[in-house]
Amino acid sequence: MPKAIKKIGVLTSGGDSPGMNAAIRSVVRTCAYHNVECVGIYRGYEGLIEGDFQLLDARSVRGIINKGGTMLKSARSKEFREKEGRQKAFRKLSEASIDALVIIGGDGSFTGAMIFNEEFDFPVIGIPGTIDNDIVGTSNTLGFDTALNTVVDAIDKIRDTASSHNRLFFVEVMGRDVGHIALNVGIAGGAEEILIPEEDLGLDRLVESLNRSRKSGKTSSIVVVAEGDKIGKNIFELKDYVDQNMEGYDVRVSVLGHMQRGGPPSCFDRVLASRMGVKAVESLLEGKTNYMVGLMNGAMELTPLEMAIKGKTKINLELLRVSDIMST
Amino acid sequence: MPKAIKKIGVLTSGGDSPGMNAAIRSVVRTCAYHNVECVGIYRGYEGLIEGDFQLLDARSVRGIINKGGTMLKSARSKEFREKEGRQKAFRKLSEASIDALVIIGGDGSFTGAMIFNEEFDFPVIGIPGTIDNDIVGTSNTLGFDTALNTVVDAIDKIRDTASSHNRLFFVEVMGRDVGHIALNVGIAGGAEEILIPEEDLGLDRLVESLNRSRKSGKTSSIVVVAEGDKIGKNIFELKDYVDQNMEGYDVRVSVLGHMQRGGPPSCFDRVLASRMGVKAVESLLEGKTNYMVGLMNGAMELTPLEMAIKGKTKINLELLRVSDIMST
Amino acid sequence: MPKAIKKIGVLTSGGDSPGMNAAIRSVVRTCAYHNVECVGIYRGYEGLIEGDFQLLDARSVRGIINKGGTMLKSARSKEFREKEGRQKAFRKLSEASIDALVIIGGDGSFTGAMIFNEEFDFPVIGIPGTIDNDIVGTSNTLGFDTALNTVVDAIDKIRDTASSHNRLFFVEVMGRDVGHIALNVGIAGGAEEILIPEEDLGLDRLVESLNRSRKSGKTSSIVVVAEGDKIGKNIFELKDYVDQNMEGYDVRVSVLGHMQRGGPPSCFDRVLASRMGVKAVESLLEGKTNYMVGLMNGAMELTPLEMAIKGKTKINLELLRVSDIMST
Amino acid sequence: MPKAIKKIGVLTSGGDSPGMNAAIRSVVRTCAYHNVECVGIYRGYEGLIEGDFQLLDARSVRGIINKGGTMLKSARSKEFREKEGRQKAFRKLSEASIDALVIIGGDGSFTGAMIFNEEFDFPVIGIPGTIDNDIVGTSNTLGFDTALNTVVDAIDKIRDTASSHNRLFFVEVMGRDVGHIALNVGIAGGAEEILIPEEDLGLDRLVESLNRSRKSGKTSSIVVVAEGDKIGKNIFELKDYVDQNMEGYDVRVSVLGHMQRGGPPSCFDRVLASRMGVKAVESLLEGKTNYMVGLMNGAMELTPLEMAIKGKTKINLELLRVSDIMST
């Protein structure tokens, strides 16, 4: 029979995403609701190794549900990748009488959590916090919905100036391995083309398609490019190629960058974070470990961490088709 | 064998919602993609009866994906409730050689569509456009997600002034029959209590709960109230009751009203609208009729109109519980 | 020669407004820059009387420049209106060795500050913080610009639904005594009519004007009404009158309420707050007292409190004329 | 005696800015108010040379006051720089019986307007439309206020992620020749340093200042860099230098780019545009020519185009000082 859980630690790890604070708040309040102590661990696994802990009660997470970023800060930790680092972490947890961990982060963070669980039989539950929406076991990662709205708002603004000047804009959005952000904002932003890592359109076909769109009477265009797209070595080379191979377009580049990670979370992400925090804590209290909480068909479900980190979620092919039809 | 469909009409009906324009755009462009003509029908069933039609091509819906409201305008029509009105409508459709209709609206509009289909064997497909999210057969109605963000943004602002003055705010949000908006924005806005039509907390328990929250150290509070809540006859009576039965609170009321229906649709609603428009047109082209398109477990699905209008979707009880835990 | 100032207190009083936090931050950091101690006084004059003080250093105001509301909270104090209350306040200030006060608030707060200065020869400087922009001696009060943007955003949303349904909306905005908000948002929101306390259009002329606008082909209209407008006893009566005396309009009312006070301050208000905080502290250090800082022709200027509280700023008649021409 | 003005042309030229549409609307409606015809000229001086004209009435500018960009489109014209091009333009104006021009644009556009006026004695009035706020004769150019809010919103988002990760961000904002945007958003965004073209801080002092800020306990920093800043050859070199010469910072770059030009104009810019349009048209009707309208000390004033294009407006030194004090 597993030891009763009296004290739960919570940390955020990897790139931050909107909704992480709302998830921390939910973890803390669910602990309070169940009369379990909750400890905030600063700077991810780094703070775990250093014992950078602080007891959190229901009041200490007031006013953070609508704040971007993470009050616990986040970091990447080389030391935690080594056995020795993880041993230090385990020692710190034992000293602080922490019985279980909630890890808010992406697949890298979950891999660490899984190894830690295996080595020390320490209860862990993951909450998927990343704007990339690339984690198996949940239809939405925390922050994805917010990032989509942030990017679409930026594209709307760029559209204003593009259509005032008959320009072609390449807009780079986040997504190193997967095109979820690009595909959604491309449709929502009315992009003429969407370039994603999963599909290599090829430069010739891109130019051909832009020429066709031009001839059909469009005088300005937006092409959404995922960071990890393979079509050019980078977005500036893409611009140069089009500049040299197309006439009559004034081509510009906009790299949206880190603003995509910030801002107040959307309603959806706040509610999702609140649900995930409850599910994570209550799963630990029920003796579950080594799972990730996720949203599946509208309900909170558990997925083994091992499955969550295996591969990336696939692009929805229906969306690709919708995008093609919309740019008719 | 059904007649081949060469020309599709599209109209918006009932209360407007963000995403209706994106859905119109999608219907028009999907028609263009399939070389089918598309006719915009103004002012819902009223314009249908009057023959207020306009041919729409792919270019005529440029620049509307990010606009709130509906370019086709909407109206409620008494005449269409009468057999005679519907006969006029059928005549106008025949004269204009329109073979099928896409109806964007709520359950009232769908009831009309279903009767019209039955009487004249006229192909119809519905797209659920309403901020209330109360239609069976789709996890999200068009505009619901946008409205949630609009309301949460307003609550965040009210929270600023509430916590600067130690005030208790009753914030009324839309939702005459169902509490979906109230429940989600209540969680996302960090409300202390959420009053919905589905649950009658009772005035005594409300006051008791607010007193408890006060004693626990909270100096300001927000109570989200759905329009259709039964606890008081209206929100101003609620305020009066609390004024008379609680001490130390400065109680205020804010009725958010019609701004909840407007604004640029969220990324989610734009993508959903685009998907629904494709599905609606292609379903008609496949000979389907009398269905509503919906989002079910992440995919586009058809639900018979008859089922869509039968009853309202239920509150997610998990969310009620999350709300309770969060206001710990 | 006045006593050298070693410690300055800062408080916010009256209704809160966006930019108050930015002003507090500026007061605190300017004190730090000049090696003067700074004490935050909670809940306005009430906290002053109770000695609810906290030492603030440059770090303690991190992350507040973009927050609405006031971290020092605000209140109205009956006790401070009595001599006895003010004596208590003076005692608390003496005990805490506070040498001077910065008062962030509106004309009511300044009246209190002026009397306090006269009775105890205690140095005070005011910073005009109110969304109403009704204070003589500054072209902009703190929060006015932010409130204008908040209201215009709401009107844009209401316009979406108004024009989808051919409706007439009465939108009530803040401004009990002056029409500055109404006049500006009316022009910016493209309102057909603007009703302000300074001008009584009369119900007949309102109806006449709306009828004219209707005949000229406008199918939806927005009328912006300042809270303090005298044309109807209140906005709901206005609606009833128009309902009974005009045909063909579906008339609705929207009272924007307290959300107008909240939200992150605009860039303008943050810069203004930063400038005012510097000017307030440096004026005290130069031995000035009983002044309000203000923005006059683009520069920071001092106005005697006595003048600042005498009367309200006048409506800009040029704007009234622009509004008339725009609703042509 | 000058010829009576019966028909006025309006065009937008140079980079677009939020508020241009509101200014077009105001020009059109003021013409309608005075029973003068108004002609929209597409694509700036290029459309002027080509005779790309369209008659605009009060209704044709409905629904544009809140749209970014310019419905008349904008362009830069090489041909108009040649005498021959200007002669073509004059011919087109004569053929269309246009008696006067309103030019909405920046100093380049005004130079063209002035030369045109001198060569053909053709009445012109300029409206300053550019986000850079660098034009003499007005305290605000159209779009400046909106751009400030757009940039500050982006910096707030970047701040979320910066402070979650203890990062140093260089954020590049528009402003090739002048630092107005950088200086204002730097203060409003709580930047640790602001690099502007007018002041060369020097790389050594920048590093020194960042080190000082680090030692004082700040764990994340934002440095706002105007496009035209001279400190590095560009912002990426700046990053490299700091990477090589500072320890313990994770340095990132964000180039905000063209989204700064778009979006719905702020309330301030909409009101300013409305006022400027009225003033421009009425000045032409009064026989004035070769002036720019501007906001001076809160009122609409005329400045000879010759003065408006001579030099750029100076940085407000008070703001530089406020910025220094705030980053204490």
B271 CB neighbours in chain A (<8 A) are 184, 187-188, 319, 322
**Cβ pair D262:A165 closer than 8 A:** no
The ipTM, to two decimals, is 0.96
pLDDT in tens, C74-91: 988 999 999 999 999 999
Q: How confident is the model at residue D92 (pLDDT cuts 50, 70, 90)?
A: very high
Residue A129 near residue A141, CB atoms below 8 Å? yes
What are the start and end residues of each CATH 3.40.50.460 domain in chain B? 147-261
Question: Known binder of ligand: residue C175?
Answer: yes
Residue B103 has pLDDT above 60, yes or no: yes
* Residues within 8 A of C (CB atoms), D 309-328 only: 316, 318-319, 321-322, 325-326, 328
pLDDT in tens, D220-267: 899 999 998 777 678 888 898 888 888 777 899 999 999 999 999 999
**Option in D75, D164, D258 nearest A69 (CB):** D164
Residue C1 has pLDDT above 60, yes or no: no
* Residues within 8 A of A (CB atoms), D 76-135 only: none
Residue C208 has pLDDT above 90, yes or no: no
pLDDT in tens, C239-261: 998 888 887 778 999 999 999 99
What are the start and end residues of each CATH 3.40.50.450 domain in chain C? 7-143+265-310
Closest CA to C308 of C166, C108, C161: C108
Q: Which is it for strands A100-105 and A7-12: parallel, antiparallel or unpaired?
A: parallel
Q: Answer with the residue of higher pLDDT: B319 or C177.
A: B319
Residue B174 near residue B132, CB atoms below 8 Å? yes
**Burial status of residue A306 (CB atoms within 10 A of its CB: 0-12, 13-18, 19 or more):** middle
pLDDT (0 to 100) of residue D229: 78
Residue B156 near chain C (CB below 8 Å): yes
Q: D213-247 in b/e burial notation, b at 16+ Cβ within 10 A?
A: bbeeebbbbbbbbbbbbebbeebeebbebbeeebe
Q: Which amino acid appears at position A325 of this protein?
A: I
Closest CA to A6 of A37, A47, A40: A37
DSSP H/E element including B88:
helix B83-95
- Reading the block at residue D45, the tokens are 């001086």
Residue A232 has pLDDT above 70, yes or no: no
Residue D182 near residue D197, CB atoms below 8 Å? no
Mean pLDDT of the D182-200 span:
94
Mean pLDDT of the A285-304 span:
97
Catalytic residue numbers of A, as ranges: 132
Closest CA to D141 of D11, D27, D309: D309
Mean pLDDT of the C292-306 span:
97
Question: Known binder of ligand: residue D91?
Answer: no
Q: Where are the alpha helices (DSSP H) in D166-294?
A: 180-188, 203-215, 235-245, 267-285
Torsion over CA of D273, D274, D277 and D278, rounded to 10 degrees?
-150
Residue C111 has pLDDT above 70, yes or no: yes
CA within 13 Å, CB half, A226: 26
pLDDT (0 to 100) of residue B217: 78
Mean pLDDT of the B293-305 span:
97
- Reading the block at residue A267, the tokens are 């309603």
pLDDT in tens, A300-328: 999 999 999 998 899 999 999 999 999 87
Residue D298 has pLDDT above 90, yes or no: yes
D326 CB neighbours in chain C (<8 A) are 25-26, 29, 274
C187 CB neighbours in chain D (<8 A) are 270-271, 274
Closest CA to D322 of D194, D223, D145: D194
Backbone torsions φ then ψ of C200, nearest 5 degrees: -100, 100
Helix axes A267-285, A144-165, angle to 10 degrees: 160
Q: What percent of chain B has pLDDT over 70?
A: 99
Smallest CA–CA separation between B19 and chain C, in Å?
Answer: 12
Residue C99 near residue C141, CB atoms below 8 Å? no
Q: How confident is the model at residue D171 (pLDDT cuts 50, 70, 90)?
A: very high
Which class would CATH give B7-143+265-310?
Answer: alpha beta
Closest CA to A189 of A259, A254, A271: A254
Question: Known binder of ligand: residue D25?
Answer: yes
H, E, C per residue of A239-258 = HHHHHHHCCCCEEEEEECHH
Mean pLDDT of the D21-42 span:
98
pLDDT in tens, A70-113: 999 998 899 999 999 999 999 999 999 999 999 999 999 999 99
pLDDT in tens, C34-48: 999 999 999 999 999
Q: How confident is the model at residue A245 (pLDDT cuts 50, 70, 90)?
A: confident
- Reading the block at residue D294, the tokens are 């501007």
Which of C153, C192, C256, C267 to probe the D interface (max D CBs under 10 A)? Answer: C267
Q: What percent of chain A has pLDDT over 90?
A: 82
Cα D81 from Cα D63, distance rounded (Å): 34
**A276 DSSP 8-state letter:** H
Residue D234 near residue D273, CB atoms below 8 Å? no
Residue D35 near chain C (CB below 8 Å): no
Question: Known binder of ligand: residue C130?
Answer: yes
pLDDT in tens, A269-283: 999 999 999 999 999
pLDDT (0 to 100) of residue D192: 93
**Burial status of residue C67 (CB atoms within 10 A of its CB: 0-12, 13-18, 19 or more):** buried
Smallest CA–CA separation between B282 and chain C, in Å?
Answer: 27
pLDDT (0 to 100) of residue A2: 62
Torsion over CA of C2, C4, C7 and C9, rounded to 10 degrees?
20
Q: What percent of chain B has pLDDT over 90?
A: 82
pLDDT (0 to 100) of residue D144: 98
Spatial strand order of the sheet with A53-55 comes to A53-55, A37-41, A7-12, A100-105, A124-128, A291-296, A299-304
pLDDT (0 to 100) of residue B232: 65
Q: How confident is the model at residue B228 (pLDDT cuts 50, 70, 90)?
A: confident
Closest CA in chain B for residue C159: B262
Q: Which is it for strands B221-226 and B193-195: parallel, antiparallel or unpaired?
A: parallel
**Option in C139, C267, C299 nearest D184 (CB):** C267
pLDDT (0 to 100) of residue C212: 84
Residue C34 near residue C285, CB atoms below 8 Å? yes
Using DSSP's 3-state secondary structure scheme, residue D322 falls into: helix
Distances (CA, A) of A2 to A115, A120, A122: 19, 13, 10
Residue D276 near residue D23, CB atoms below 8 Å? yes
Using DSSP's 3-state secondary structure scheme, residue A302 falls into: strand
What is the third-level CATH fold of B147-261? Rossmann fold (3.40.50)
Smallest CA–CA separation between B101 and chain C, in Å?
Answer: 20
Cα A32 from Cα B216, distance rounded (Å): 13
Smallest CA–CA separation between D66 and chain A, in Å?
Answer: 12
D58 CB neighbours in chain C (<8 A) are 328
**Global pTM exceeds 0.95:** yes
